[in-house]
Every structure is written in C-alpha cells, then in structure tokens.
Amino acid sequence: MNTKRILYIVIPAVLLLVLYFSLRKGEADLSQITVSVQRGTFSAIIFSSGQLESEKSESISIPEKLKDRNLRIYELTITDMVEEGTWVDSGSYVATLDHKAVEEQLKAAQDEMDRTLSEYEDSKIDSNLNLSNQRDLIVNARLDLEEKKIIMEESVYESPSIQKKAAMDNDKAARKLEQEQKAYILKRKQEENRVDRRFINYRQVLERSQELDKLFNSLEIIAPKAGILTYFKYPWGEIIKTGSKVGPYNSVIATIPEMTNLISRTYINEIDISKIKTGQNVKLGIDAFPAKELTGEVIAVANIGQAMPNSDAKVFEVKIKIFGKDKDLKPAMTTSNAIQANTFADTLMLASDAVFENDSLKFVYLGKDKQVKQIVWLGEENENYVLIRKGLKKDDVVWLTEPANANELKFQGFDIYEEMQKEKENAKIQAEKEREEVQKKQPAPGVLPSPGPMPPRTVLKN
C-alpha cells in the first residue's frame, strides 16, 4: 500500500517536470525562427488614404446678372443655404444671397435716376431758351440789313461819300446776319449735344436700375439638375457656406457631382512619389463599408508638391479613377488606396522583418547553424517583403530574430557595400552633369537674351 501511494505521488511530479522542461525548450525554439529567401512574383504596393470626389460635376453659380460690372456690386453674402449632402431636384431651392445689399444699391440708383431725369428735362428747357434768343438775334440782324439796304438805295441822290458809307453799313449788316445764322447752327448743335449727354446719363442710370431690379428678383438660387449637393471647396481649403461672400471673381457656390464618375484624391509623400505613374492599378477600400473592395487606376500625378500643415514634409496630389458604379458611395467618403507601383515577375524576395540595419549597413543573419552578418543590397518593398538585388540566393536561410551571439558575428559582403556606394556616387555625378547642362542653357545673370533684329524705328542713334 505504501509503495502504491509513493508511485501515485512520484509519477505526477515526474510528468510535471517533463512538461516544464519541454515548454522551456519550445520557448527557446520560438526565439530562433528562420525564413528562406523566395523567388516569385513581387508587387510593390504604396498605401495611402484618400477622399471620394466626382470627376465631373455641375457647378451652381451666382446669378448671371451679378457678373455685370455695370452694376458695381463686387460681392454678396450667402444668407441661407441648404445643408451639404442634401438631395436636390432640378429647380429646387439651393441658397439665398443678401437682398439688403442689392436693395440699398437699387434705392441709390432710383434716386440717381430721378436726379438725372430732372437734369435732362432742365437741359431741354435751357436749350429752347438759348435757341430762342439766338433766333431773335437773327431776326434783328435781318431787319437791320433791310434797313441798311433802304438807306443805301436812297443814298443815290446823295454825295459819293454818303453813298459809300451807306454801302459799307449795308455790307456790315449782311455780314452780321450771316454770322448770326452760322452761330445759330453751332449753338443748336451744342445744345443738342448737351441734351443728348443728359439723356445718355439718364438712360444709363435707368438701365442700371432695371438690371438691379432683375438681380434683386434672382437672388434665390436653384439647382440646375438633380443630385447630391456638395459645398464648393477652394484648393487652399476654404469652403463656401452660409456667411461666405461670393461675386464675379468667385462665382461658384456649390456643385452637384456626377456619381457615375468617381475619383479618389490622395496625397503621396515625396519619398514614394517617384514610384507613382499614371496607368498603375489600384485597389480601394471604403472605410464606411469595410466589405466593399473597388478597383481603379492612377490618372493624374502632380508635378509640384505642397507642404503638409505643421510639418516640413512635402506631399504630391494623386488622382485615382474608380471603375464601376456603386449607389452606396457618397462624396467625401474616406478611401484606403493600395497603389500597385511595380510588379516583378521573377525575382528574389525576403520577409522584411529579417532585415536589420545599423548606421550605414543593411544586413541579415545568414545560416541556420553557423550564422554570419550578410550585407544585402535591397530593392523595392511592400507591406510584407523586400526585393533582394545582391547578397542572397534562393533558399538561403536567414533569421527573423537576432541570435544570442549576434555581437560576436562578423560581417561579410563588403564588396556589395562598395558597389552600392559607387552607384550612389555615379548617380550623384550624373545629376550634377544634368544640372550643369541646364545652367548652360540659361542666360547669365544680368544678361537678357537677344530679342533678335529690332525694327529700324526702334534703333537708337548717338
């Protein structure tokens, strides 16, 4: 009985000890995971977050009358506007512009119209008076001429000197009549011009008043077509909404996107932008619908970068055309973009976690039993793998974790490092040559390029 009791106690204890040491051995093995270099198809993928937009959209603008410079209204405030994302039908209400500002201009124009009308009527009366006076002068000159003519005829019985004086007085009276008649013609033309100017001023003010009245009645803006209303956004980030000011130089209030032609607008950092080209395939996810997966294509890559807010980093705008249609998609939804930058059909690749680096080298721990620090020349990478240009071959075994004796291991492959440095130097020299070539083609500072032969009339003579 005692022997059985001892066996019942000893056997479980031994089993527990065996299990403990087995688990410790398993833990040690887990810290020494290795992977092999593979050969196959490799896709370099660049990930980014974007926003849905319509490639084509119908703009909702200010009334056409507001673009008329003669109205002298350069901006109006939006006093009311429907919420963004509202579905509007063709002809539905969208926004209202400030009536009060137009009403003030209209009142001022009507006052000015009354003043110019009064000036026009006064000018007609003044012209009639002036021309009437001028006609009286002509009548008087004509009567004076007739009188002088009678005196001249009666002087035939007088002495020659009296006859000569009578003839001279007759000539003066004739010239006076002729002068008054010519003066009347000029005076009439002058008065006509003055009255016409007054009438033109009145007509201009009248037309402006009429146009302001038309503008006042068109300050309620309606939708040109049915669709989802989106507020207009400027490139610098400002959004047109209630309280914003619009005018001839910023005439768009909102847009109605065409949801059958969607793009994702995204921004790529300056490190990866050189890998992005038009025509590259893209897989897109919609944050609002995690189960949806869309496909697309890069259709535009910006040539000029822009600074990120509160950062020195630069990003470049990229537009991605989305294939197909989906009624669930809405403007401004966030997209997760996976851009397939490059595809290599037959190449060496390695898990990214197996690559280590120090200040100047990238290397792997090569060998299952006897390890070395192998310097590697890497290529493009994706979320899991990196391309191997030099330093490894297919089926080489490398470690995912540092071996216990990592500090004692020696580097090999310094010839690869020297080759990498040489290529960098050659690329630098080539870039310098290209820069010098560009500078040679540019004119020297302070020297203007010759405009070619100058016309004779512009040649300066000493």
CB of 184 closer than 8 Å to CB of 135: yes
* Total Cβ atoms within 10 A of residue 43: 14
Residue 242: which of 67, 100, 94 has the closest Cα?
A: 94
Residue pLDDT, tens place only, 250-290: 888 888 888 788 899 899 988 888 889 999 999 999 998 98
Is pLDDT above 60 for 462? no
Q: Residue 243 CA to chain centroid, in angstroms?
A: 22
Residue pLDDT, tens place only, 29-78: 445 688 889 898 888 888 889 988 888 888 888 888 888 888 888 889 99
Average pLDDT, the chain: 83
Summarize the confidence of residues 297-303 as an average pLDDT.
92
Is pLDDT above 50 for 187? yes
Summarize the confidence of residues 443-454 as an average pLDDT.
51
Residue pLDDT, tens place only, 316-344: 999 999 998 888 888 778 999 999 888 88
What pLDDT band is residue 432 in, cutting at 50, 70 and 90?
A: confident
Q: What is d(CA 386, CA 355) in angstroms, rounded to the nearest whole number?
A: 9
Record the pTM: 0.51
Summarize the confidence of residues 389-417 as an average pLDDT.
88
In sequence order, the β-bridge partners of residue 336 are 49, 285
Residue pLDDT, tens place only, 84-122: 888 889 889 999 999 998 899 899 989 999 999 999 999
378: amino acid identity, one letter: L
Residue 80: which of 315, 243, 254 has the closest Cα?
A: 243
Residue pLDDT, tens place only, 433-446: 888 887 777 665 55
Q: What is d(CA 291, CA 285) in angstroms, rounded to the nearest whole number?
A: 8
Q: Please report the pLDDT score of residue 319 as a whole number.
A: 93
Which one is predicted more confidently, 461 or 411?
A: 411
Contacts 24+ apart (CB under 8 A), 409-413: 409/365, 409/371, 409/372, 409/373, 410/372, 410/373, 411/361, 411/363, 411/372, 411/373, 411/374, 411/375, 412/372, 412/373, 412/374, 412/375, 413/363, 413/374, 413/375, 413/376
Percent of the chain clearing pLDDT 70 (strictly above) = 87
Q: Please report the pLDDT score of residue 237 as a whole number.
A: 66
Phi, psi for residue 261 in degrees, rounded to 5: -130, 85
Is pLDDT above 50 for 148? yes
Size (the chain), residues: 462
Percent of the chain clearing pLDDT 90 (strictly above) = 29
Q: Please report the pLDDT score of residue 445 as a whole number.
A: 52
- DSSP per-residue string spanning 160-191: HHHHHHHHHHHHHHHHHHHHHHHHHHHHHHHH
Q: Please report the pLDDT score of residue 274 as a whole number.
A: 85
CB of 263 closer than 8 Å to CB of 319: yes
In sequence order, the β-bridge partners of residue 78 are 97
Q: What is d(CA 308, CA 311) in angstroms, rounded to the nearest whole number?
A: 5
| 58: CB partners within 8 A, 6+ apart | 224, 225, 227, 255, 256, 258
Residue pLDDT, tens place only, 7-27: 445 455 545 554 444 444 444
Q: Please report the pLDDT score of residue 457 as a whole number.
A: 42
